[in-house]
């Protein structure tokens, strides 16, 4: 806290942080309480207020410390006249009359009456329209100058390296933390101004973002920007701060009351805007807080949260041997039926659980279910603007970058076909090729991939629109020139079983009329191999199967991509049982735990099935789930440094609960080289989180190696970009 110290013949000297308003104009100042450490209480026009503008000495506005790196400094004088041996002459400071006792007493009374300073109320501040293009989507429309970095005009701000950084952050961080960090920086470069008040952003928002986004800066060897210092330029909630990200939430915190007289189990069968969808999901999670929660896996290109609602007996926790299932809708923005089905499913699961439905209670107590109603909320907004019945076949299909998200995943299927021809080579858990990251990767795609690496998903479905059929991998033909070619996975039998679990209880898919929507698939039982339908690369289902343990199918819910509102209830009735039946199939096959002889779980142990060239791996707790069709199977568990264990497993035809098969691995003798062939495969580092999907040590990332500073002190790869655009060299971005 600063102090007001009287000086003989000089008025008062401010010794705290912040510039006294009216410095040099004879204004008497008093320090703010400790709750506002950077503020000062002043008396101007008869009103006491806080002002934390940077400066130091009262009566000497030109003597300022702590200039930021972007400020222009006057060049130091050179030559004989600038010798350091000359004794500095005494500078006479302007004198000020001592404060009138009555005026000073008034200030003291006002300070005592106000235990905390409100944030800066500066009647001298002139609010003006916010004109920075990079900050055009901020939550406010007016700002003022000088800003918190002492930039005094639009021209100075736009020429600053701080502003240039904000404009390219999205590209530098490959879509991460966008637009959150940009809006946070805008709150500093163009502070919010309301009726002569200048308000600072909230410190806890800054701290939360730094915790999440710091790894993204570390990945490109860039220091955290000084102007996003959470303690210097941000303030606490009790000091009148505001949330600079409030516009991103779009009023999502506010609840939407149901019409009077309706029970809480009521489901409104209508289309949901983004804000309505988020409110429904959060309200549902609040009603069933003991078995549900919402969380975000990232943001879309335009900054909308990719919100997931989870149902589990212990929300937020992976439980031993409890399988994980995900259902994803709206990957194509104009295919909206899946989005609505998952919103309805979330409400249905919550309501039926509370009503004591034994089937739903058993499902939620034994399964962890994740619902992502909208993977492409930006595309949905484009499609919804046209509305049901007017939407074209492709309008809104892509994301805001004009990318088809179901063509944006790494092409691992081509690599699989190459490996399949090599005897003994592993063709599962294929790492992401490094060249993939040099292309255009949507933030939505990256969020899904990171999500998949974080949670050991076993089963998944992607809900689409445009036809009425269930398709399964592979979606990419074994011969790329063939547009339609049956291209099965090693788990062809299991994928057929999963697809039929959905189609066989869907009344329209089982309709025997060939004239209906999807009638051309009737003879196939309304299921089809994806590549046999039409071949494409970069699909999400193939990536799930080849990169992780997860088996994913694609469900086409109907021939109308954006159905009218009156058709939604019928769609729900057709798909409700299919969705539940599909999720329940995650309990088919076997499950168990792999441990060593001391009972310690063995992570990333391989579970192989003779005759099926596709292994799955154990989760960090040593548990695994292997989806298998009925029959006799030879199952093998193995891990580096341990002897393999082989067991014979019989799965009855009518068995609907996974059988438990545990493995205890014995260590190999010293010096033994009996490691199974093909396991010790290394792959390049990828930006999703470090190790490969195998969980083993990987080779150094050549890109990362190039980004590391060399011994001769060379700068990171992005340094030349900033120095070419601005006269100010932003050395505050350098870590070394």
Q: What is the pLDDT of residues 466-503, one digit of tens each?
A: 999 999 999 999 987 888 999 999 999 999 999 999 99
User: What is the pLDDT, as a whole number, of residue 358?
Assistant: 96
497 vs 510, 546, 626, 650, CA distance in Å? Answer: 16, 19, 14, 17
Kindly state the greatest CA–CA separation across the chain. Answer: 103
Handedness of CA 28, 33, 39, 45 (dihedral sign): negative
Q: Tokens 């002190």 sit at which residue?
A: 713
**Helix, strand, coil percentages for the chain (3-state, nearest 5):** 30, 20, 50
Residue (of 465, 273, 278, 277) closest to 381 by Cα position: 273
* SS3 of residue 495 by DSSP: helix
pLDDT at residue 269 above 90? yes
User: What is the pLDDT, as a whole number, of residue 59?
Assistant: 34
CA dist., res. 374 & res. 381, Å (int):
11
CA dist., res. 244 & res. 241, Å (int):
9
- Give catalytic residues, as residue numbers: 556
| pTM, 2 dp | 0.70
Contact call for residues 591 and 660 (beta carbons, < 8 A): yes
Beta strands 324-329 and 457-464, pairing class: parallel
* SS3 of residue 389 by DSSP: coil
State mean pLDDT over 380-395: 82
Q: Which CATH superfamily is domain 274-315+322-587 in?
A: Zn peptidases (3.40.630.10)
User: What is the pLDDT, as a whole number, of residue 63?
Assistant: 33
Q: Which residue has the higher pLDDT, 38 or 161?
A: 161
Residues of the chain with CATH 1.10.2000.10: 128-239
Residue (of 74, 244, 242) closest to 166 by Cα position: 244
Q: What is the pLDDT of residues 128-143, one digit of tens each?
A: 898 888 888 888 889 9
Contact call for residues 70 and 50 (beta carbons, < 8 A): no
Count of C-beta atoms within a 10 Å radius of residue 91: 7
CA dist., res. 329 & res. 283, Å (int):
20
**Exposed/middle/buried for 254, CB within 10 Å: 0-12, 13-18, 19+?**
exposed
Question: Residue 219 — φ and ψ, nearest 5°?
Answer: -65, -25
CA dist., res. 331 & res. 306, Å (int):
11
Q: How does DSSP assign 665-688, residue by residue?
A: EPBPPTT---PPTT-------BTT
Q: What is the pLDDT of residues 650-663, one digit of tens each?
A: 999 888 899 999 99
8-state DSSP, 690? B
User: What is the pLDDT, as a whole number, of residue 249?
Assistant: 59
CA dist., res. 346 & res. 349, Å (int):
5
In degrees, rounded to 5, the angle at the alpha carbon of residue 324 between the alpha carbons of residues 321 and 325 is 150
CA dist., res. 101 & res. 107, Å (int):
10
CA dist., res. 571 & res. 100, Å (int):
79
Report, at the CATH architecture level, how domain 128-239 is classified: Orthogonal Bundle (1.10)
CA dist., res. 283 & res. 254, Å (int):
10
CA dist., res. 2 & res. 706, Å (int):
48
Residues of the chain with CATH 3.40.630.10: 274-315+322-587
pLDDT grade, residue 711 (50/70/90)?
Answer: very low
The kind and range of the H/E element at 295 are strand 292-299
Q: What is the pLDDT of residues 542-578, one digit of tens each?
A: 999 999 999 999 999 999 999 999 999 999 999 999 9
In the β-sheet with 467-472, what is the strand arrangement from edge to edge?
A: 292-299, 305-311, 368-372, 324-329, 457-464, 551-558, 467-472, 527-529
DSSP-H helix ranges across 464-591: 492-503, 530-533, 540-547, 568-584
Contact call for residues 598 and 589 (beta carbons, < 8 A): no
CATH of 590-667, one of 3.40.50.10190, 2.60.40.1120, 3.40.50.970, 1.10.3720.10: 2.60.40.1120
Handedness of CA 270, 272, 273, 279 (dihedral sign): positive
CA dist., res. 472 & res. 493, Å (int):
11
Residues of the chain with CATH 2.60.40.1120: 590-667
Q: What is the pLDDT of residues 307-332, one digit of tens each?
A: 999 999 999 999 999 999 999 999 99
User: What is the pLDDT, as a whole number, of residue 547?
Assistant: 97
pLDDT grade, residue 85 (50/70/90)?
Answer: very low
Q: What is the pLDDT of residues 142-195, one digit of tens each?
A: 999 888 888 888 888 888 888 888 888 877 876 677 788 889 999 999 999 988
Residue-wise over 560-570: b if at least 16 C-beta within 10 A, else e? Answer: bbbbeeeebee
CA dist., res. 375 & res. 448, Å (int):
9
Distance linking the first and last C-alpha atoms of the chain: 34
Residues 6+ apart with CB under 8 A from 522: 511, 512, 513, 514
pLDDT at residue 630 above 90? yes
The residue count for the chain: 736
Paired tokens of 144: 């003022």
| Residue-averaged pLDDT of the chain | 79
CA dist., res. 156 & res. 146, Å (int):
10
Cα Rg of the chain (Å, integer) = 32
């Amino acid at each position: 806290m600063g102090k007001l110290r009287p000086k003989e013949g000089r008025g008062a000297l401010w010794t705290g942080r912040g510039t006294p308003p009216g410095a040099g104009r004879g204004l008497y100042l008093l320090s703010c309480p400790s709750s506002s450490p950077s503020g000062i209480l002043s008396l101007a026009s008869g009103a006491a207020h806080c002002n934390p503008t940077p400066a130091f000495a009262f009566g000497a506005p030109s003597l300022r410390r702590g200039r930021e790196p972007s400020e222009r400094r006057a060049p130091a004088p050179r030559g004989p006249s600038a010798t350091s041996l000359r004794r500095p002459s005494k500078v006479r400071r302007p004198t000020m009359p001592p404060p009138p006792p009555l005026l000073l007493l008034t200030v003291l009374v006002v300070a005592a009456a106000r235990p905390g300073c409100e944030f800066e109320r500066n009647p001298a501040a002139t609010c003006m329209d916010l004109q920075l293009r990079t900050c055009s989507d901020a939550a406010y429309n007016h700002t003022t100058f000088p800003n918190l970095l002492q930039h005094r005009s639009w021209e100075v701000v736009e020429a600053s390296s701080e502003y240039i950084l904000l404009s390219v952050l999205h590209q530098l961080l490959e879509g991460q933390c966008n637009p959150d960090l940009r809006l946070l920086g805008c709150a500093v470069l163009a502070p919010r101004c309301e009726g002569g008040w200048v308000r600072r952003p909230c410190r806890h928002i800054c701290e939360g973002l730094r915790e999440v986004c710091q790894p993204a800066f570390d990945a490109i060897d860039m220091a955290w920007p000084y102007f996003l210092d959470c303690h210097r330029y941000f303030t606490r909630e009790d000091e009148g701060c505001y949330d600079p990200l409030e516009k991103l939430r779009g009023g999502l915190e506010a609840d939407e009351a149901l019409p009077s007289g309706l029970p809480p189990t009521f489901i409104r069968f209508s289309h949901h805007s983004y804000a309505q969808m988020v409110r429904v999901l959060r309200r549902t999670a609040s009603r069933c807080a003991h078995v549900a929660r919402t969380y975000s896996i990232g943001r879309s290109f335009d900054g909308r949260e990719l919100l997931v609602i989870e149902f589990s007996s212990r929300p937020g926790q992976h439980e031993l041997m409890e399988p994980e299932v995900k259902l994803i809708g709206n990957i194509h923005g104009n295919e909206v039926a899946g989005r609505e089905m998952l919103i309805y499913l979330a409400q249905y699961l919550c309501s039926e659980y509370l009503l004591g439905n034994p089937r739903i209670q058993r499902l939620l107590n034994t399964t962890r279910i994740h619902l992502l109603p909208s993977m492409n909320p930006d595309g949905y907004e484009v499609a919804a603007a046209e509305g049901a019945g007017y939407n074209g076949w492709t309008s809104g299909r892509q994301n805001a970058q004009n990318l088809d998200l179901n063509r944006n995943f790494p092409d691992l299927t081509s690599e699989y076909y190459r490996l399949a021809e090599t005897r003994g080579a592993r063709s599962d858990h294929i790492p992401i090729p490094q060249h993939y990251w040099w292309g255009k990767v949507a933030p939505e795609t990256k969020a899904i991939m990171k999500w998949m690496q974080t949670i050991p998903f076993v089963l998944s479905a992607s809900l689409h629109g445009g036809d009425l059929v269930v398709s399964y991998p592979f979606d990419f033909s074994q011969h790329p020139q063939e547009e339609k070619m049956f291209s099965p996975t090693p788990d062809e039998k299991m994928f057929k079983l999963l697809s039929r679990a959905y189609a066989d209880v869907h009344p329209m898919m089982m309709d025997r009329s060939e004239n209906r929507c999807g009638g051309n698939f009737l003879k196939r039982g309304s299921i089809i191999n994806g590549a046999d339908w039409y071949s494409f690369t970069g699909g999400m289902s193939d990536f799930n199967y080849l990169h992780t343990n997860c088996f994913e199918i694609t469900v086409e819910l109907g021939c109308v991509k954006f159905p009218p509102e009156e058709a939604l209830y019928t769609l729900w009735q057709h798909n409700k049982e299919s969705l539940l039946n599909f999720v329940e199939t995650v309990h088919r096959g076997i499950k168990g735990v792999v441990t060593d002889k001391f009972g310690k779980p063995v992570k990333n142990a391989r579970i192989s099935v003779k005759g099926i060239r596709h292994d799955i791996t154990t989760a960090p707790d040593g548990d695994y789930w292997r989806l298998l069709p009925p029959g006799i199977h030879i199952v093998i568990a193995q891990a580096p440094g341990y002897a393999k264990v082989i067991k014979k497993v019989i799965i009855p035809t009518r068995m609907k609960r996974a059988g438990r098969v545990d493995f205890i691995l014995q260590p190999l003798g010293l010096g033994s080289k009996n490691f199974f062939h093909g396991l010790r495969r290394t792959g390049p580092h990828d930006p999703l989180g470090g190790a490969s999907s195998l969980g083993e040590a990987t080779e150094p990332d050549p890109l990362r190696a190039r980004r590391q500073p060399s011994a001769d002190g060379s700068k990171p790869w992005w340094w030349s970009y900033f120095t070419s655009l601005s006269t100010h060299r932003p050395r505050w971005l350098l870590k070394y």
